[in-house]
Structure 1
């Protein structure tokens, strides 16, 4: 079963020794259609609506707050509120979030390169240095570690569930989850 969640932030347990946990809030969602376990689910994300979404909302009689649609594996067999019962028995989840985007970065930050000497007139600094070769293959090989776009990629992590608050719909998972606080992601029940 999959759910749309918002990352609240990190905290720790009050046990000894304390364990780091990430708090994820399950968003209110409506199941619009169910086809062979896959369902079209509407959820709110606070962004502006477009004409296509307005049309979808009229089709499924949804209020204006449910302005995004996604296909998920759900426990529901028919349209209505999303069934959260599988989260009560779950022990492990797979969290999928988008990592923080850091823009165009150099080799030292992106790939942890060492850089050159910082003193005595060197001009090497934070540059990557030589990337070429003498004759063969006469080109830069694909996948060469060089400066470029860093972050803003999808990342999945398996986390153990420490606790689940059914009243507030908050899952506390062991360890960290990618992305900034307040970002939306998916959680899939593994066990």
Structure 2
């Protein structure tokens, strides 16, 4: 079973020793249509609605706050509110979020290269250095670690469930989860 969640942030337990935890808010999700266990769902993203989404809202009789659509594997057999009762018995979750995007970065930041020394007036600094080969093969090999886009990739992590409050929809998982606070992602029950 899958759920749409928003990352609230990190905290720790008050037990000794303290355990680092991540707080996730399970978003209110409406199941619009179910086919073979895969559901067409609508959730609130807090963003503005466009004409296409307004048409879908009318089709499924949803209020204006549910303005994003996604397909999920769910326990529901018919349309209505998403059934979150499975989270209370869950032991391990697989969380999928986008990592923080850091833009175009150099090789030192992106791949943890060492860079050159800072003394005696050299020009090396934070440059990549030599990338070529000898006469054979005489080209740069595919997959060479070079400057480029860093972050903004999908990352999945398995986390143990510490607690789940069904009233508030707050899910507490052990350890860290990728992405910024306020970022949206998916949670799937692994165990």
Flag structure 1 segments of 5+ consecutive residues without an equivalent. none
- Whole-angstrom distance in 1 between the partners of 2:128 and 2:64: 51
Equivalent position SS for 2:55 = helix
The answer for the alignment partner of 1:5 in structure 2 is 5
Q: Deviations over 1:104-149 (max 9, x none)?
A: 0000000000011111111100001000011122221111000000
The answer for the alignment partner of 2:182 in structure 1 is 182
Q: Deviations over 1:73-124 (max 9, x none)?
A: 0010100000011001000000000000000000000000001111111110
C-alpha deviation, 1:16, in angstroms: 0.5
Equivalent position SS for 1:11 = strand
The answer for the alignment partner of 2:172 in structure 1 is 172
TM-score, normalised with respect to structure 1? 0.99
Structure 1 position 88 matched with structure 2 position 97: no
Matched residue pairs, number?
A: 191
The answer for the alignment partner of 2:134 in structure 1 is 134
TM-score, normalised with respect to structure 2? 0.99
The answer for the alignment partner of 1:149 in structure 2 is 149
RMSD (Å) for aligned C-alpha atoms: 0.6
Q: Residues 56-67 of structure 1 correspond to what in structure 2 (within 5 A)?
A: 56-67=56-67
